[in-house]
Structure 1
């Protein structure tokens, strides 16, 4: 394994460990001062219920989006289930079970966080998932959940 891959793995593991334990301070310390944070693209009328999504730059802006998320959602379970690292790139697959505070609705998702690491810091973070379960829970639409029972 190259030194670059090892450094990327160390930073990624620190990020995922801190994030899943709710240690935002340590997580934010893994981010570069000009980190590009891409948390989905807002689509009006579809996923804009997710007030924490969009693209921001810098740890302070990232903290702002994390605070919006944690104000709306109570994460019950979050675990890194796979991590693939090559050079300055890392992709982590997260399994999450959360409850929307306002509706009481649960959602369970797997999502990918794609990280680019340079000089020991995350310079780019992008997430990928199917947000339909999150949107259903935010809107309090229990019909889909009941239909699956």
Structure 2
């Protein structure tokens, strides 16, 4: 039995917010396209985990880069909207950049498109200003 879009999104966000990468992998299609913001040279390129990735291995590698730089404190799903094969989750995160010890808070949106119970298209949206300040070692 194939998971519904809601079941897939709920499972994905549960795995993501609990830090369970192995379980998160189960929700990604083999041909997933993962767009984690768009790098802008001289602005957000100090966030080495952002960019466009294809396939679960690249996605999980980008998450490992993020986790090598950031100690995730709180990450929670605030709201979830599902319609057809589309799910939109709003998440809240409070974390610390390991190198600088500076914390940041951010709310971000993830848009998921689901096919046969797996995520085939994923895109994240946020204002990265607080993350960049923390990377630079400046308090918010």
Query: What TM-score range do you get, normalising by the shorter chain?
Result: over 0.9
By how many angstroms is 1:141 displaced? Answer: 1.8
Paired with 1:51 and 1:141, the residues of 2 have a C-alpha distance of: 18
Structure of greater Rg:
1
The answer for the alignment partner of 1:104 in structure 2 is 101
Paired with 1:25 and 1:13, the residues of 2 have a C-alpha distance of: 16
Question: Could you say what secondary structure the match of 1:33 adopts?
Answer: strand
By how many angstroms is 1:55 displaced? Answer: 0.1
Find the partner of 1:36 among 13, 33, 36: 33
Matched, 1:64 2:22: no
Q: Which string of whole-angstrom CA distances, capped at 9 and with x for unpartnered residues, describes residues 36-84 of structure 1?
A: 0000010000000000000010000001000000000001000001000
The answer for the alignment partner of 1:125 in structure 2 is 122
Structure number with higher helix proportion? 1
Paired with 2:103 and 2:138, the residues of 1 have a C-alpha distance of: 11
Which runs of no fewer than 5 residues in structure 2 stay unpaired? none
User: Following superposition, which runs of at least 4 residues in structure 1 exceed 3 angstroms of deviation?
Assistant: none
Paired with 2:54 and 2:26, the residues of 1 have a C-alpha distance of: 14
Question: Could you say what secondary structure the match of 1:52 adopts?
Answer: coil
Query: For this pair of structures, how many residues does the alignment match?
Result: 139
Which runs of no fewer than 5 residues in structure 1 stay unpaired? none
Matches within 5 A, 1:1-149: 7-142=4-139, 145=140
Could you say what the CA RMSD is over the residues aligned between the two structures, in angstroms?
1.1
Paired with 2:45 and 2:51, the residues of 1 have a C-alpha distance of: 9
Question: Could you say what secondary structure the match of 1:71 adopts?
Answer: helix
